[in-house]
Copies of this chain bind each other. A is one copy, B any other.
Amino acid sequence: MAQKKPLNIGVVGYGFMGRTHSNAYRQAPQFFDLPYRPVLKAICGRNEENARRFADTWGYEGYETDWRKLVERKDIDAIDICTPNDSHAEIAIAAAQAGKMVLCEKPLARTLDEARPMVEAVEKAGVANTVWYNYRRVPAVTLTKQLVDAGKLGKIFHYRANFLQDWTISADLPQGGAGLWRLDVAAAGSGVTGDLLAHCIDTALWINGPIERVCAMTETFVKQRKHNLTGKVEPVGIDDACAFLCRFRNGSLGLFESTRYARGHKALYTFEINGEKASVKWDLHDLHRLQYFHHGDESVVRGWRSIHVTDADQPYMKHWWVPGLQIGYEHTFIHQAADFLTNLGSGEPTSPTFREALESQAVCDAVLGSARSGGWESVGS
């Protein structure tokens, strides 16, 4: 491995996403043959004790407590942003301006307006960039993309996706601060739309092409919650639930819904695509299963196939164990890290780039706009 080029990485944020990304960099080289060797140079977080401990646990060479200092370091090639949404833009733009590659946790930003200059910055700087829409790299999801691209489904009629959770039903749950910033509109930008539907939209755009128009409805079931940063009961600014109808450019109809009030569902991201020749269904709770119905099967034995996507000829799986043996959530990040490092070798972009992620941001903006306006909205760009 000594001959492999090092890629020096600085990660900003040591929370949940800091862990998944750090793990990805550590694991990718054992399972993938990569042109670059990721080097964990520094973790960056405001609390020094936490930063030191995180660095120690994950094998970082050091740590920083000010992201601006990290961005300026000469020995860093790439900045990976794992902070809450409200700081993505500032860090990303600074990093790009400093000539660093930029990897950013999704969503790109809180709003389309906030995201546009980020895209401009990385493109102007000409630096490699990617946004961690990790679910694209679940093997069953990647397989879906391949099946649609190969024309197995034929003309697409319907696309529907859900992301259902139930963890915010209790009105006693506070908003804001560590672990709960997703409930704070200032930090998150929106509720389920940016946090969960953004994933559904990213996958849909990737697999089924552009969305042209949307019509949405949102709801905030719990109107006020104690804010952890102020200590006061404050109005809740995020959307607890969001559903929208849409029309794709290819003529198919879309139906999307997300909520954190669907009792019984932990992180149930599901999609179903109906084409003229075939259909597919998937859900995150059983992530290796792809349900596939092929109308061309002999009629008396035609049925939904439950494909256990763990074979070596299915996406990513040859790098892991043997057929029937599963991988998990964290592997989607490992796959994206591996793809990023591989693409770096060949000079190709790693999808979704900032530019591509701008599209899902535009759909999110149109969705939230439609919920406000009460009518159909065109998706801008």
| A336: min CB distance to chain B, Å | 16
Partner of A301, one of B56, B245, B262, B292: B292
A261, B158: Cβ atoms under 8 Å? yes
- Answer whether residue A206 sits at the interface, using C-beta atoms and an 8 A cutoff: no
- Answer whether residue A234 sits at the interface, using C-beta atoms and an 8 A cutoff: no
B325, A267: Cβ atoms under 8 Å? yes
From A61-69, A72-80, A309-317, the one touching the partner chain is A309-317
Minimum CB distance partner of A281 in chain B: B264
Minimum CB distance partner of A325 in chain B: B329
Minimum CB distance partner of A22 in chain B: B30
Q: Which residues A248-273 have CB closer than 8 A to chain B? A: 253, 255, 257, 259, 261-268
Contacts A165-B324, A219-B253, A326-B287 known; A29 to B16 CB distance under 8 Å? no
Partner of A324, one of B279, B284, B325: B284
Contacts A30-B23, A241-B158, A284-B324 known; A279 to B307 CB distance under 8 Å? no
For residue A259, which residues in chain B have a CB less than 8 angstroms away from its CB?
157-158, 253, 274
For residue A306, which residues in chain B have a CB less than 8 angstroms away from its CB?
303-306
- Report the Cα distance A289→B241, complex, angstroms: 27
For residue A329, which residues in chain B have a CB less than 8 angstroms away from its CB?
321, 325-327
For residue A374, which residues in chain B have a CB less than 8 angstroms away from its CB?
375-376
Contacts A215-B215, A285-B324 known; A301 to B305 CB distance under 8 Å? yes
Q: Which residues A309-366 have CB closer than 8 A to chain B? A: 310-311, 313-314, 320-331
- Answer whether residue A226 sits at the interface, using C-beta atoms and an 8 A cutoff: no
| A64: min CB distance to chain B, Å | 19
- Answer whether residue A286 sits at the interface, using C-beta atoms and an 8 A cutoff: yes
A314, B300: Cβ atoms under 8 Å? yes
- Answer whether residue A294 sits at the interface, using C-beta atoms and an 8 A cutoff: yes
For residue A376, which residues in chain B have a CB less than 8 angstroms away from its CB?
374-375
- Answer whether residue A131 sits at the interface, using C-beta atoms and an 8 A cutoff: no
- Answer whether residue A230 sits at the interface, using C-beta atoms and an 8 A cutoff: no
Contacts A57-B30, A328-B327, A374-B376 known; A279 to B300 CB distance under 8 Å? no
Partner of A302, one of B277, B279, B307, B324: B307
Partner of A253, one of B167, B217, B287, B290: B217
A interface with B by C-beta (< 8 Å): 1-2, 16, 20, 22-23, 26-27, 29-30, 56-58, 143, 146-147, 152-153, 157-158, 160, 164-167, 169, 215-217, 219, 221, 241, 243-245, 247, 253, 255, 257, 259, 261-268, 274-279, 284-290, 292-295, 297, 299-308, 310-311, 313-314, 320-331, 374-376
A165-B324, A166-B274 given. 6 additional CB < 8 A pairs?
A20-B321, A215-B217, A263-B295, A264-B293, A267-B322, A302-B305
Top-9 shortest CB links A-B = A266-B324, A267-B324, A264-B293, A303-B307, A303-B305, A325-B329, A328-B328, A266-B323, A157-B261
